Structure 1
Amino acid sequence: MSFSIPSPPPPDGSDPLAVVLGEVLDADAALAVAEARRTRALARAGRLALDVMAGQRASSREAEMVLREVASEIAAAGCLSDRSVQAQIGKALTLVDHFPATVDAWEAGALSRAHVQAIVDAGTPVPLDKRGEFDVLAVTTAEGLSPGRLRARLATLAERLQPTTITERHQRGREERCVRVVRGENGMSDLIATLPTVLAVGIYDRLTQQSRALIDACNETGSPVSACADGTSSSGLGQPIVSGAAFGIDGVGDDSDERPEREMIGATDVLKHDATVVGAAAVAVAVAAAGSGAAAGAGAAPGAAAADRRSTDQVRADILADLLLTAAPDADPTRTDDGPGTLGAIRARVQVVVPALSVQDPGRENIDPAELVGHGPIDIDTARQLAEATRVPWDRVLTNPVTGAVLCTDTYQRTAAIDRYLRARDRHCRWPGCTAPAVRCEVDHNLDYALGGKTHVCNLCHFCQRHHTQKQFTRWQVRQLAGGVIEFTSPTGRIYTDHPLPYSPAVRFVGDDSPPSGIPGRQPAPF
């Protein structure tokens, strides 16, 4: 086989591919220059905060209030999260202060963002006194290499500059173990646990063996994996799903006397709940069965189980969810006998909003989806399973049918009415850009109680602990306007407003050729 050598492009540069290639390279170089300039600007912003912090008392310096103040100013102006901007400032300071040669090469267009990230990732563990040497060598090594190949070279380079052994560094690395959630798409997320490699591989191996044993056992007996006859989860580790006898389609249980009053108000019924998650794998399996065409409760015989078509990966994930949500940890100092202690009795909590009409008519879920507060929409089958499984009563939220604003809340269990209203109205931290769910936030007096502020919904809102502290100890000013609108004044005098996220309105006007709303017992509007 022979290959012909392409002729050089015409001198006038009319080769289309050569023209496009030149445009891509020029854009890459301009992008690198812009990103490097932004990094230097963020580093200067960080130094401004550090200079102010150096002259303050230790408590303020430890809380980094000034740095938060600067980050919030930049974030609000750019419609970003102040947490992400503060993280960017930290990374910019690290880059400019510890990898100057890398930043110079980046600004010159010799490196891309991916190359820079590879250098920072590999160079951060290198001791400070060796980091300058690593910086220069890394820029030289990067020439002509893709980011993937560069990482392998840099790992070897960094290892040579380490003054300690791998064993010693592993002992320090164990201190960074953590668990975090990374939001994904389509109602899914990644649960990431940073653990010692031996433990991580061991956990994965045990899950694999358990999933294979479960599948093999069902193949031998011919019984389905998806659910036991008593409604317990697939792995047998979860708690039974409890039918929601008190859960009515309209969100008010069996009390039908209130129905005429609700229709006179014309408000949307929304089920809001701080749900306790139990039997998670059972919920996942039931939803999977419904999605595969299994008739869950639609004419199927009681206790009938659908055929299970889950893969090993899916079974492994369901077993992991069951183990983490229902099993009691062995290392529990509160245990006094063979039974579970306080840790084993703790159950996971999530805050869920379920539109009642979407439960009644699942075809509406794209128009008015259920919501996992702080994370986004979830499918209506999962929301329904949570509603049926939980033993904690739901709050009913009555909303304006046009604007979606919260009118009032009620419940069949005595709770703090103001707190219920605020959770229904705010749903998450009200600081610009923050999505922390209200169940993990603190209720703040916008005008301090000591200064005459009222303990009333017109002077209260939810802030997460970070932003509650920031409101108290920085120059940001907060006040509440009519309708639950929160007004923020930044240290530079800029004003930002945060409006309560409205619920979907119940009344929608459609054209003559559009189908009826699908609400049972309700005729199309005569206009």
Structure 2
Amino acid sequence: MANLSGTVLDPGMNPADPAVVLTALVTGLEATEAAIIRLHALREAQLAVAQDVAVAIAASERSGSTPGAAAELAARSVAAEIAGVLRMSDRVVQARMARAADLVARFPATTRAFTDARINAAHVRVIQDAGSRLDEMVRAEFEGIAVEACAGETPHRAKRIVERVAERLAPRSLTDRHRDAQVERRVWREDLGDGQKALGVIHSAAIIDGIYDRLTQQARMIAVANAQAKKDEAGGVTPDPDGLGAPGDERTMDQLRADLCADTLLTGTASGHDTTAGLLSAIQARVEVTVPVLTLVAAPAGPAGSGTSSSFRVRTEQPAELAGGQPVDTDTARILAGDVTAWERVLTHPITGAILAVDHYRPNTDLRRLLHARDSRCRFPTCGLPPHTQDLDHTIDAAHGGPTEEGNLGGLCRRHHVLKHQTAWTVTQHSAGILEWTSPTGATYTDQPPTPVTFTIEDPDPPPGYDIRPAPF
């Protein structure tokens, strides 16, 4: 017996059994997705050929015009021809032709993996974007690692690893690129219609995260106060006229953040929404950042500001990361580290990057910090939500005798925490925080703890004269 996807079912199994149908459906979808990926790869190959055709036309028809102008006109002509068939803008087609040609010419290993359906189009974008700034001599090494990181992983989760590898091999450090990019920081406005406009800000990642976090904290304080005021009113208690909450305030968190942002920008503080005691103004932004130790110290003796050592094959200065994986330049990381009053040192394995311990380990608060460091995203396969969304879940339920310790806890977002407890999905935790998930159909998926910011050197002992100066704060 076969279903519509062509998957053959065992005649001895009941096709009405939901588990049988689900297994056949998953198998069929897997085959369908692989076929679609191969077609996407074929389309990219065809677009790359179209770019080659445009180059050939430019070479044969150039008459008086410069080579660049001839190539541009030929590409426009070919793109316009293809756009009529694809029913899309010829500008979009021209850009896709150039990108496809770049993929085929500069990323052969990625192209082969794409053609074999080992990775999909989103993986290809991640690899191509991260590898675009790399020199030809290191691109093959980058591709080999990047393709393996993407195979069997979601693009969102693989992006973190791919960008780290690209950063390690990049000719210029993130700090240098960030300094250049900061020159372009700006604020702009955009018409939206219906009397609305959008205000956009481009600034350092840490600053933007800090702004958003402070607005969120303030909005949450108002939301809690509103709920309490509504409860008091229902109980006959007269609301405090100078209090923060209002029983009739039904604004959402997004609306509160927007109003608080406008109030702060227009007045300097959130005075229009604050209390006389300044409860909202007292809230400060929280920015969580993970910093490799050698990023905090001055660069070793060598080319000024290079952040590299000729004695090692890798960049000694690695970028810090905001919670969730966003890279942070070294200057910002040092400023943030210099302003804090307490540190949480996370010890990692020098090769695997597995979390080994944190300073002052003890139950409760320190255990939570250790797990927060180890599980810097939701530990369900394919999910990449950051730490602030997580619940600490007992792999073996506490009600069934599961201990509250590192080897029986894992960070899960609320969606997947509920999935674990309310569906037939199960999870087993192995050593070093490795989680093995089993689906209702019996398929297993292994989730490794995300590797924190780390690097490995071939010689653990620095050479004579290697100078590590104190951190500049």
Q: Under TM normalisation by the shorter chain, which class is it? A: 0.3 to 0.5
Which TM-score applies when normalising by structure 1? 0.37
Taking CA–CA contacts closer than 8 Å with sequence separation of 6 or more, which of the two structures ends up with the larger relative contact order? 1
TM-score, normalised on structure 2?
A: 0.40
**Larger Rg: 1 or 2?**
1
